[in-house]
Amino acid sequence: MQSKKSGSKPAQRVIKKYPNRRLYDTETSTYITLAEVKQLVMSKASFVVRDAKTGDDLTRSILLQIILEEEAGGAPMFSEQALASIIRFYGQAMQGYMGPYLEKNIQAMTELQAQMAESAETLSPEMWSRFLSVQSPMLQGLMGNYAEQSKSAFKQLQEQMQKNTEQALAAFGIKKP
């Protein structure tokens, strides 16, 4: 456990997972559902899910369970091809780089979504219909920014891989020509 020093991160909300698969929110002293955990995610609440017996961190598995339920809910985000591609990265040299690359792309998409929402919230219904008729150039501009950020993230990924390869080879006395 972290000590509570001044200036440290605020305490995370702790959710305990019991062997009967129930989730217990220690902040509210109540059992909660997976849907309520999803709401914590949506509200950007800081939390951790711990095994009630061992104290192991189960947060990732609970988040994956939420994604699985969302994907099975009728409007999946990932195609079979996308899921298969993600699976293929496991055990490959690029596995360690894929997570940060996806995170940067999701962050760029989140920023794009926020920009679009900001533009849209000030529009009346009439203005909204005009916006929709001319959104193509604006959307292309926003998507161009996203594509540029994605390209930049991929370039950083390649540079980091090259640097790591050179360091590994140097450890064996092999220098780049």
Task: Kindly give the interhelix angle for 95-121 and 125-171, rounded to the nearest 10 degrees.
Answer: 160
């390869």: which residue's tokens?
165
Contact between 18 and 24 under an 8 Å Cβ cutoff? The reply is yes
Residues 111-142 have pLDDT tens digits of 877 776 676 666 666 665 665 565 555 555 65
Question: pTM of the entire structure?
Answer: 0.63
CA–CA distance, 163 with 47 (Å, rounded to integer): 35
**CB proximity list for 135: less than 8 A, separation 6 or greater:** none
Report CA-CA distances (Å) from 66 to 38, 112, 167.
Answer: 7, 24, 39
With cut-offs at 50, 70 and 90, classify the pLDDT of residue 167. Answer: confident
Does position 100 have pLDDT exceeding 50, yes or no?
A: yes
**Is the torsion defined by CA of 11, 12, 13, 18 positive or negative?**
negative
142 near 115, Cβ under 8 Å? yes
- Average pLDDT value over all residues in the chain: 79
pLDDT at 28 over 50: yes
3-state secondary structure of 155: helix
